[in-house]
Amino acid sequence: MSTPLSVLDLSPVGTGRTSADALADSTTLARAADRLGYRRFWVAEHHAMPAVASTSPAVLLAHLAASTERIRVGSGGVMLPNHPALVVAEQFAMLEALHPGRVDLGIGRAPGADPVTAAALRRTVEGLGAEDFPAELLDVLSLLGQLPAGRAASATAARLSATPAPAGAPQVWLLGSSTFSAQLAGELGLPFSYAHHFGTGITTHAADVYRAAFRRSAVLDAPHLMVSASVIVAESDERAAWLAGPSRVMALRLRSRGALAPIETPEDAAAMLDALDPEQARDFYDRVPGTQVATTADRAVAALRELVTRTGADELVVTATTHAVEDRVATLEALAAAW
């Protein structure tokens, strides 16, 4: 693949299904991505959401790495405000020891949870603020032996190591959907993954900020940018739009601050969207970001290549929300064949 493709999976829980079903589906999808030649398979961290089964990336990644052969596995990402730096560093140092050369530690700044859940995870409200994030990130890098030159970690982190006898370290990425993370990733010389699928509308600007801020580091000589895109591929535009219905319902719930219920079937999603009055529906579709690529393989490839050209991305990571894993596997198969 000229520009490497990777996969981000949230382990979505469909209506009438369990978290165990969703995690089994993630395993199926990871094996497909491995077989098809995708470079990375990343999993997310979300809490207290009935629609998402991926709550503990390190645990899930241990299983996925053991269930695949060559694909890199990683977090997209670990939400650092939820965890002490030493816990994160030790978990991923152990994954790297178990699966050498195959582990990515993608780190995010958002909690991925409501404030009460985030405080319960951390057992304190200390460290949950955005202002604490850069220092905690430096602690993780220090614990993994990757502290950039001229930077200082906390006194505690400086005295410790994530593993007693390290043989290697995971590849650390910074994730973000803002220029804050882009700037920080550049200053620390880290690879940066931008969440274009969030639809913030500033993807190109964030890419420019990252490159302008980049400083050479022990891990990178030049900027390395990965951009995400939400993609569903089918044999026709109509079928792809129908399969994308559940993700539209999910987006509507997020924007109306409703409960993130399990993923609807395409049939139920179509009925829900049809029930919107025309003015409400038009307003919703106008506000939903245009990052959902739901079309045929050739048109999806054209859209992704345009995204690479516009952003200068070194890699792409694709994600999709569907009720059935078979539709996500079919998307990966069609993209791999056409890319």
C-alpha distances in angstroms, 73 versus 48, 81, 106, 193, 333? 24, 22, 10, 15, 19
| 81-90, 289-298, 330-339: least confidently modelled range | 289-298
pLDDT of residue 288: 60
pLDDT of residue 198: 85
pLDDT of residue 254: 74
* Orientation of helix 133-143 relative to helix 179-188, angle to 10°: 30
The highest-confidence range among 162-166, 270-274, 312-316, by mean pLDDT, is: 312-316
**Mean pLDDT on 26-51:** 96
Q: Does the pLDDT of residue 278 top 90, yes or no?
A: no
Q: What is the pLDDT of residues 134-153, one digit of tens each?
A: 999 999 999 999 999 999 99
Enter the CATH code of domain 5-232+293-338: 3.20.20.30
Q: Does the pLDDT of residue 211 top 90, yes or no?
A: yes
pLDDT of residue 325: 97
Task: Find where tokens 């029930």 sit.
Answer: 275
pLDDT of residue 322: 94
**Mean pLDDT on 268-273:** 90
Q: What is the pLDDT of residues 64-80, one digit of tens each?
A: 999 999 999 999 999 99
Q: Return the domain boundaries, the chain.
A: 5-232+293-338
Q: In DSSP terms, which residues pair with 163 in a beta bridge?
A: none
- Report whether 113 contacts 46 (CB < 8 A): yes
Q: Which helix (H) or strand (E) holds 30?
A: helix 19-36
Task: Find where tokens 């582990």 sit.
Answer: 103
Alpha helices in 99-162 (DSSP H): 115-122, 133-143, 155-159
pLDDT of residue 8: 98
